[in-house]
Amino acid sequence: MTERDVFLSVGAQPSLDAMVEQIEFAEELGYDTAWAPETWGRDAVTLLATAAHRTDEIGLGTSILNAYSRSPSLLGQTAVTLQEASDGRFRLGVGPSGPIVIENWHGVDFGNPLRRTRETVEIIKQVLSGEEVSYDGEYFDLDGFRLRCDLPETLPKVDAAGLGPKAVEMCGRFADGWHATTFTHDGLADRMEDLERGLELGDRDPEEFRTTVSVTCCALEDSEHARDMVTQHVAFYIGGMGTYYRDSLARQGYEELAHTIHDAWQDGDREHAQQLVEENLLPHMSVAGTPEEAREQLAEYESIDGVDAVYTSYPRSADVDEIKQTMEALAPDRTE
């Protein structure tokens, strides 16, 4: 059975306490895992450490910590510590993020994100082995240290995010799970072939691998308002977050549309960009409408072969009440 997770919004969050309360609410509703993002707001590590002490059962994970602002060894230390803090409920998600965040916020050259993410995953797994870390890579050259604390009884899994064919193949080959985001139904199905190739190359057991799909959701009685917020959110990512998500959409068979949305947004014609999203993309890569409509739409994602978990994420403009309404409408017990 496909698991249903929750992804915390980074927008419209008045406090750390409000975010932790949403994780507590997700636990009450029966969600399997709460995923914390990290962009340029509150850091995910402090958030999850706080949540670990205020929850008992819900899984906790990062989606994602980027592979640039922390060293791979520190990411390994963080994974061990959060696993200890959560009594074995933690799962580490890492990935490259995107050039606009890495270069403009962290001031680091984006370089080769595929190679850097692979090296990061490999080093983290060495850290988690408890043995001396020895690594000679393109980005990292490490030797002479091992983790200076006992390993947790259950080691945390290490997931990776990827958009393009080679990145998804890398996830299957080296990580324990793949985080998929901003995919249409068909685009996601196409990437599954790349994931299977990576699993074969890494001689991995598909049964031990977790594919987690992010879906932007808004379920409100005011269905028009719900669709408007999701439309704006999708248009922002395609048009306002550099070229990373634009190019991912183009690879999914929407090249002309992706560039038109991006150009309209960059030219200041956001109304046109949002109109293009609403007319051409909304039902194919998001969930929006009344609670009943949204539940039916989310079930379509969960039925895609190879999807192990779907996490409901929320529009960047949604307020706390709208997020909680959507969480409640799409809670796992509503569809069992």
What average pLDDT score do residues 221-236 get?
98
Of the chain, the percentage scoring pLDDT greater than 70 comes to: 99
Q: Residue 7 forms beta bridges with which residues?
A: 35
What average pLDDT score do residues 240-250 get?
95
Q: Does 178 score more than 90 pLDDT?
A: yes
What average pLDDT score do residues 22-46 get?
97
- Please give the model's pTM, rounded to 2 decimal places: 0.96
pLDDT in tens, 138-151: 999 999 999 999 99
Give Cα 80 to chain centroid, integer Å. 20
What average pLDDT score do residues 268-285 get?
97
What average pLDDT score do residues 299-305 get?
95
Per-residue model confidence (pLDDT) at position 335? 43
pLDDT in tens, 41-94: 999 999 999 999 999 999 999 999 999 999 999 999 999 999 999 999 999 999
Architecture, CATH, for domain 3-221+285-334: Alpha-Beta Barrel (3.20)
Burial profile 17-35: b = 16 or more Cβ within 10 angstroms, e = fewer: eebbebbebbbebebbbbb
Tokens of 320: 């706390």
**Sequence spans of domains, the chain:** 3-221+285-334
Per-residue model confidence (pLDDT) at position 151? 98
- Contact, 264 vs 239, CB < 8 A? yes
Per-residue model confidence (pLDDT) at position 37? 95
Nearest to 284 by CA among 182, 164, 161: 182
Residue positions counted in the chain? 336
Pairing of strands 3-7, 33-36: parallel
pLDDT in tens, 105-116: 999 999 999 999
* Average confidence score pLDDT of the chain: 96
Tokens of 325: 């309404």
Per-residue model confidence (pLDDT) at position 12? 67
